[in-house]
A = this chain, B = another copy of it.
């Protein structure tokens, strides 16, 4: 029974590997599994566990949250996490130290008000579109670290010690993520953006050609078989904006690799995408106007047909009227 289940999975996997997109998903899944195994050695091997202790938890968390499909997304999240942790931790230590100096009721007041002010302030920056686009994750990590450091600073004696240990384990998690993501079968957002832009060009060209062929076909042919051109590719181009922007955003984080240099003009891809979407819109309405044109012609023919069949009727009616007169 179990054998047949395993066989099923294997045959399913074999089927999937024939498709490039599915192949990449499988590779990504295996990479995440491998990164998790690597980081769980912090718990499994005694010498490592004696070093980090329960803080190993933070390394596991970093890997789970950070590992993304594209190498650029992983790198971007990693940088955001690093900067957010350092800024939040530093500011948290400072506020905790100030509160300890004041002492008494002032301690609680300072901590509560700083939690509110920094929490609300950082959340407001997250709603600004430009910051949201690239630094949303960093702002979230800043709020998280700041809060944890400030409020646990009240209870724990050695805030700096805790901060240092957590920072080092987060660093380990980052290192494992970056290593596995970039070194083992990396999946680049830049390749994806380049390929999708070029395939959009090809799809639109095919649609345009199909449109012209439709237009210049003989009328008799048109009646026997309807238009063969499919406009699904045009529609998918129309809706490509969000995905393109995401990919360009990831691609900017990616280092020099393959044919793409460090300052590859990713903004240009977005401009080309904008123009391609306009072209797709024109193509779709070209198609519509072509179809409606035909419909008008056909209706006109049908109407004239009706008229020619009505004519004798009216003549007959007149004839009758003549008789009644």
Contacts and interface: CB of A to CB of B under 8 A. Distances in A.
Q: How many copies does the complex hold?
A: 2
Nearest to A127: B25
Interface residues of A, number: 57
Contacts of A30: 120
A147 B285 CA distance: 53
Given A40-B115, A147-B40, A29 B121 contact: yes
A57 interface: yes
A28 B123 contact: yes
Interface in A91-141: 108, 111-112, 115-117, 119-121, 123-124, 127, 140
A257 interface: no
B281 A33 contact: no
A269 interface: no
B285 A43 contact: no
A155 B43 contact: yes
Given A116-B37, A127-B69, A61 B144 contact: yes
A48 B244 CA distance: 48
Nearest to A33: B120
Interface stretch (A221-229, A234-242, A293-301, A314-322): A234-242
Interface in A139-186: 140, 143-144, 147-148, 150-152, 154-155
A152 B43 contact: yes
Contact of A154 (B33, B43, B57, B108): B43
